Amino acid sequence: MGRHRRQRGEPARTQSPTTTLTVNGEEHQVSAAADATLLDVLRDELGLQGTKLGCGRGECGACTVLVDGRAALACIALASRVRGHVETIEGLAEPAKALRAAFADTGAFQCGYCTPGQVVRAAGLIRSGAVPADDRDLRHQLAGNICRCTGYQAIVEAVRTAADATAAAS
């Protein structure tokens, strides 16, 4: 049986103590249901709509955010348990400018639904300097994000292009 997803304006079933979340460099005091996911809080409480709900089970990667620079699935992370700095696609708009341009230039997105999660995961890889030299290894690193439209080669090309540009700029 699936988890009940609270609708905007619907009262929470069980309140937790106020939680402090640092999202995109800003501290937020949120009081959300004890079972509220990070995705629920980002979208419903903070109005950050870029992080998408795909499967709701942590299988598709549409909800990927960075927590202290590491990819995390917001649809299965309880908001009250998140510690560290959370970055969403909105917070990466400027830092991931080259990556976004590479996605556009290579045709790495089609419908765009998975793109925020793909960009967030790739930005984390590039920032950490952990982009593998081998395309097969890079595909493995990106495997937590599902795209039903592109066939992945354009995504790999975009990440490689942005990683090379970032390395050349440093």
18-45 per-position pLDDT tens digit: 889 999 999 999 988 889 999 999 999 9
Q: Mind listing the domains of the chain with CATH numbers?
A: 19-87 (3.10.20.30), 97-169 (1.10.150.120)
pTM: 0.87
Helix axes 97-106, 115-128, angle to 10 degrees: 120
R_g over Cα of the chain? 16
Cβ neighbours of residue 111 under 8 Å, at least 6 residues apart? 149
User: Over the stretch 74-94, which tens digit does the pLDDT of each residue have?
Assistant: 999 999 999 999 999 999 999
Measured CA angle at 131 (ends 77, 84), to 5 deg: 30
